[in-house]
Structure 1
Amino acid sequence: MLASAQILDPRALPVPQQRGPNRRRLLSLGRVWVLHRLVLTRVIAAIVVCILIAGIYQVRSHVAGALVMLGEIAQGEFADAGFGVSAISITGQTLTGEQSIFDALGIEPRTSTLDFDAEAARQRIAKLASVASVEVRKHYPGNVTVTIQEKTPVARWRVDGVTFVVDASGEQIGEDRGAYGDLPLVIGDGAADTALVMIRALDQYPTLSQGIVALSRIADRRWDLIYETGLRVQLPEKGVAQALRNLDEYQADYQLLDRDVSIIDLRVPDSVAVRPAVHDEENKKS
């Protein structure tokens, strides 16, 4: 064995490489990746998503502006092609102002029927105080029809010098500009809320309803009937139905409403008090 051995220069022998700190770090990272690949993938994906969201947030105004501009261009092209809204027909409105309806429709000069959202417009019009139901339709190429059914007015309510029309729930559904003079007039705070109850009670006594110009709510507790002659009938807070029955009997038996009195007081149950009318000549003498 020694006879066949070769003499070598020690400097020619290979030197094994030592694993330094950097090599150990790479091996450790490799082990981490192998052991936690799924978790690391999710973390990296979340970071990428956050970066994308941040980038989009930075340019959001530019993107939104571009989309709006493209929408306006497309809408203008449709309008130029003959699909622009050229006619709007509105029917069924009396209390509802046309301007309020136009504003709710949201139709601009170059709005096209292809782009116009009829359902969204219908929902906006339905929120108007006087509207009970509404139908909005578009008819190609360029017509829009609006059919309105309004709430039923039951009385006029005067407050602060302005007369409104109210529905059965007491809600103001429009301003009376003289078209509803045949409806009962109620005045006073809270009068609109309970007007229908009083009106229905009076409907049972046609004789008592003749000549009434207003129903006055007193301190939001009781009612006075005001007649065109100046007569005021004071009703009680409770027992109104019985008081009206008594008054109807007094009118039938004694024509009490036709007497020369200024006040008929029915606030005390089962009794009636009257105040004679005071005329101008008597005032001058006194």
Structure 2
Amino acid sequence: MLASAQVIDPRALPVLQRAPHRRHILGLGRIWVLHRLVLTRAIAAFVVCLAVVGLYQVRAHVVGGLAVLGEIAQGEFADAGFGISAISITGQALTSEQSVFDALGIEPRTSTLDFDAEAARQRIAQLPSVAGVDVRKHYPGNVAVTITEKTPVARWRVDGVTFVVDASGEQIGEDKGAYGDLPLVVGDGAADNAMVMIRALNQYPTLSEGIIALSRIADRRWDIIYDTGLRVQLPEKGVAQTLRFLEDYQRDYRLLDRDVTIIDLRVPDSVAVRPATHDEENKKS
């Protein structure tokens, strides 16, 4: 074979031409080998973006479908005997049953399996008169609500409506006649300061007899109003000392039982009174 070989100038040999698509394939292969990690991450990010865009566009349908499935499942549970058929509420006096029902959020086909007792408890706990609440499910179809209400300490009358307030002055319900034994406070700001005044008066039982209202004047001081029509005007400061002073006068002179309409104690260590005027005496004069 070597004998038949010829000496040829390599420059005279023809050059093979690769097809264009083959060159492209080789080029892409080289890029893939050199930049495989970067390309993999880019492709993955692109796929994720497509998925997110797709989910965003069909989100309404997905949510709606889940809601329908939930309703169907809940209805099936209700039909299977787990529908809530009885609700018991105990411990409420100021809290209306309707407010509790609304906070429970129970629909006609709600089942005990799907009912969220903790979420309902949190909603009921936000009602103004509720200090604590317990919500329990009793299978197959009962819900029990036990309410502990805040303690009312006074009645507050404003704009013709009488509310019941707790020790912090918060309105916890409307008084419809069941709390007539509680002190009545009237005037702007009366509810916020009522407890301080009530505690001060509790130290002087002889002064508390016959009180029908405590009137807050300009949100600065108090007047005590008795069932006889007598009004005792107290100062802005030093109320406890003034009440002690008034108790001494009551013990020594029965001042509260005198025929006067106003006892003015706004000036320290002094008493000013306004005698009562009667219609008959006015006619004679």
TM-score, normalization: structure 2?
A: 0.92
Q: How far apart, CA to CA, are the structure 2 residues paired with 1:6 and 1:35?
A: 42
SS of the residue 2:164 aligns to: strand
Matched, 1:250 2:245: no
Alignment correspondent of 2:15: 15
Alignment correspondent of 2:195: 196
What is the CA distance between 1:105 and its match in structure 2? 0.5
Matched, 1:98 2:94: no
Compared CA separation, residues 81 and 27, structure 1 to 2 (3 A): same
Matched, 1:266 2:271: no
What is the CA distance between 1:31 and its match in structure 2? 4.3
SS of the residue 1:183 aligns to: coil
Compared CA separation, residues 219 and 26, structure 1 to 2 (3 A): farther
Q: How far apart, CA to CA, are the structure 1 residues paired with 2:178 and 2:98?
A: 19
Report the AA paired with residue 15 of structure 2: V
What is the CA distance between 1:66 and its match in structure 2? 0.9
Q: How does 1:1-286 map to 2 (within 5 A)?
A: 4=4, 14-17=14-17, 23=23, 29-282=28-281
Q: How far apart, CA to CA, are the structure 2 residues paired with 1:172 and 1:41?
A: 65
Report the AA paired with residue 187 of structure 2: G
Compared CA separation, residues 219 and 32, structure 1 to 2 (3 A): farther
What is the CA distance between 1:7 and its match in structure 2? 11
SS of the residue 1:181 aligns to: coil
Q: Deviations over 1:154-198 (max 9, x none)?
A: 000111111110001111100111100000001111111111110
SS of the residue 2:155 aligns to: strand
What is the CA distance between 1:19 and its match in structure 2? 9.1
Q: How far apart, CA to CA, are the structure 2 residues paired with 1:216 and 1:64?
A: 57
SS of the residue 1:200 aligns to: helix
What is the CA distance between 1:3 and its match in structure 2? 7.7
Compared CA separation, residues 21 and 139, structure 1 to 2 (3 A): closer
Report the AA paired with residue 279 of structure 2: D
TM-score, normalization: structure 1?
A: 0.91
Report the AA paired with residue 163 of structure 2: F
What is the CA distance between 1:33 and its match in structure 2? 3.3
Compared CA separation, residues 20 and 195, structure 1 to 2 (3 A): same
Q: How far apart, CA to CA, are the structure 2 residues paired with 1:185 and 1:59?
A: 61
SS of the residue 1:113 aligns to: coil
Q: How far apart, CA to CA, are the structure 2 residues paired with 1:278 and 1:43?
A: 98
Unpaired runs of at least 5, structure 1 = none
Q: How far apart, CA to CA, are the structure 2 residues paired with 1:47 and 1:97?
A: 57
RMSD: 2.5
What is the CA distance between 1:46 and its match in structure 2? 1.6
What is the CA distance between 1:47 and its match in structure 2? 1.7
What is the CA distance between 1:276 and its match in structure 2? 1.1
Q: Deviations over 1:71-96 (max 9, x none)?
A: 11111111111111111000000000
SS of the residue 1:147 aligns to: strand
Q: Deviations over 1:21-47 (max 9, x none)?
A: 994x66555444333322332222122
Compared CA separation, residues 199 and 2, structure 1 to 2 (3 A): closer
Q: How far apart, CA to CA, are the structure 2 residues paired with 1:89 and 1:220?
A: 43
SS of the residue 2:122 aligns to: helix
Unpaired runs of at least 5, structure 2 = none
Report the AA paired with residue 116 of structure 1: F
Compared CA separation, residues 266 and 32, structure 1 to 2 (3 A): farther
What is the CA distance between 1:15 and its match in structure 2? 3.2
Report the AA paired with residue 107 of structure 1: I
- Count matched residues: 282
